[in-house]
Structure 1
C-alpha cells in the first residue's frame, strides 16, 4: 500500500482520549489506495471486533483490561497488513444507562448504601434482604437472579459504571477507529456497528443475546451476517467475558454446522482477560476448540 501504518496509527495515542480521530484524513488516505472493492472478494473474510471501547482500555477506562493497549496495536497492524483481503468488519459496542441491574445505583443495603464495584449479588442475598432494588422492581430483579442460577450463568457482578450512553468511555478506541474507517474507504465498504446491553434488567456480555431476558431476544442480524463469510476472525475485550460469551453464543447457534464453526479463528494476541480469569478463560476456549473445531492463533501467524 502507499499509506504507511504510521500515517494511520499513532501508537503513542492508543488508549488515550483523542478528541479528533482525523476521520476525514483517514477517508482520504483510504480512497487514495488502489485496492479492489470488498464486494469483489472471492474469499470473504470477516473481522468481528468485540467492544474495542475506551472504557475497556488500560490507563483510561473505568473497567480497564490489562493488556488492551498492546492488543489494539497488534489488531490494527493485522488489519493494515491484510487490508486487501479483509472484506468486512463488524464491531460490537457495549451501551449502557446508569440505571442497570449490574451498576451500583440499582441496589441498596439495609443502611441505604450502594454496593461497591465487583460485589457479587446472589439470589439468596436479595431474598434475605441483604440487597434490595433501590427504585422498586425487586420481583423482576429476583427473577433475573434466579434464572442466572438455574441456567448456571455467571453470577451477577456489580461493575463500575462503564460505556454510559453519550460518554467518551462508550466510544470506540480512537486509533482502532482510524484504521476502521481507513479500511472502509480503501475497500469501499461500511463497518457494521452493533450496540448491545441496553436492557436495564439484564447483563449482555455476548453480542447475540442477554444472559437472561423475558423476551428471549436473539440478534439474528449478526448470526446471518457471520454465516455469509468464508473465514471469521474474532478479537476484542475482554476475552474472559464479552469475547468468550459472543464466541460461545455463535457456536451454540451453529452447533450442528461444524463446517461453519471451523471457519472461526480467535486472534489470541488481540484480546486479554479481566485479571483473575486468565486460566478459566484459556480452559473454556480450549473446550470450544475441541467441541466446535475453532482455531486459536496469533495475528502475526495469519496472512489472509
Structure 2
C-alpha cells in the first residue's frame, strides 16, 4: 500500500461528514500497485451490513461500540486490499410511515408509542394500540410475526430515512469501500432493504413476513460465486444476525457453502439488552452450519 491508512480513514470523523474530498482520495487509489480483482484465484466477498450513520454512536438508532467496529472493519479492508475481491454493503432504507415507526400506531388517547415499545397481537386485538394505516393488514402482520418468526413488533426510532444523512453509508467506511473499488477495479454491490411499509426487514434476503418469491434470489446467487464470505456490520443483534440466519437457512443443505462464511465478531455490536441472546444465537448458528466466528486481528487471508 502506498497510501497511509490515516489518509483514507479519518478516525476522528467516524459518524460525521468527511473533511477530505473523495476525488482526491480516489485519485490516490488509482496509483495503488495491486492486481485487479478479476485476477483473484480465490474469490473473497466482504459483506458489510448496515454500516450507516444512523447506527453510529450519535445516530438516531445508535449502537454503542459502532465507531470501533467501523474502524476495525475499515482497517481489515485496508490490510487485505489485494485479497478481497468485492465489497457488498446493505443499506437500511425507510420512510416515516412504516409499521415499525411511531407514526403508524396510536393508543386510545391518540398518543403514538415511544421508541422501543413492543406491540403484541393482544395489544392490537384489545385496542391498546391501533394502526392508523392499513389496520387489517397491520393486525394480520402482527399475528404472522408471532406465528412465523416468533417475534413481537418493536417500534424503532425513526431511522435511515431515505435521502437523509442517517441513511448514508458511514463516511470513513465509505472512503475505504470506494478506495478498494478503484484500486481493485471492483464495483461495490449495494443491497437496499426495508422499503416495504408493511413489514420489517432485518435480514438482507427477505422481509420478516413474506412469500418465498419475496427473497432476493439474485443476491443469493451472487453469494455463491465466492469462496469466502466475510461478514461485519450493525447491529449484531438484529440485522447482522437475521441476515446470517436467512443466508444459512437458504443454503442449509449445502455445508460446503455455509462453511464459507466467516463472522468478524469485533466488527459488529449488539443493541443494548440483546447481548446474551445474540451470543447464544450466534453460537447455535456456528454449531449448526459450521460458520467461523473470529476477529479481524485473528483472521488471516
TM-score, with normalisation over the residues of structure 2? 0.98
Which residue does the alignment assign to 2:125? 127
Which residue does the alignment assign to 2:17? 17
Taking structure 1 as reference, are residues 205 and 21 closer, same or farther at Cα in structure 2, changes over 3 Å only?
farther
* Inter-partner Cα distance in structure 2 for 1:259 and 1:27: 37
* Inter-partner Cα distance in structure 1 for 2:52 and 2:9: 16
- 3-state SS, counterpart of residue 78 of structure 2: helix
List alignment gaps of at least 5 residues for structure 1.
Answer: none
Give, in angstroms, the shift of residue 4 of structure 1.
0.8
- 3-state SS, counterpart of residue 48 of structure 1: strand
Note the 1:233-252 alignment, pairs <5 A: 233-252=230-249
* Inter-partner Cα distance in structure 1 for 2:211 and 2:227: 34
* Runs of 4+ with >3 A deviation: none
Which residue does the alignment assign to 1:201? 198
Partner deviation per Cα, 1:233-254 (whole Å, 9 max, x = no partner)? 0000000000000000000000
Contact (CA 8 Å) 2:89, 2:189: kept in 1 or not?
Answer: yes
Which residue does the alignment assign to 2:175? 178
User: Root-mean-square deviation (CA), in Å?
Assistant: 1.1
TM-score, with normalisation over the residues of structure 1? 0.97
Partner deviation per Cα, 1:207-252 (whole Å, 9 max, x = no partner)? 0000003675001121111110000000000000000000000000
Which residue does the alignment assign to 1:47? 46
Which residue does the alignment assign to 1:68? 66
* Inter-partner Cα distance in structure 1 for 2:20 and 2:147: 45
Contact (CA 8 Å) 1:95, 1:165: kept in 2 or not?
Answer: yes
Which residue does the alignment assign to 2:142? 145
- 3-state SS, counterpart of residue 93 of structure 1: strand
Give, in angstroms, the shift of residue 76 of structure 1.
0.5
- 3-state SS, counterpart of residue 267 of structure 2: strand
* Inter-partner Cα distance in structure 1 for 2:178 and 2:147: 43
Contact (CA 8 Å) 1:153, 1:211: kept in 2 or not?
Answer: no
* Inter-partner Cα distance in structure 1 for 2:137 and 2:211: 10
Give, in angstroms, the shift of residue 180 of structure 1.
0.5
- 3-state SS, counterpart of residue 91 of structure 1: strand
* Inter-partner Cα distance in structure 2 for 1:127 and 1:214: 24
* Inter-partner Cα distance in structure 2 for 1:248 and 1:152: 12
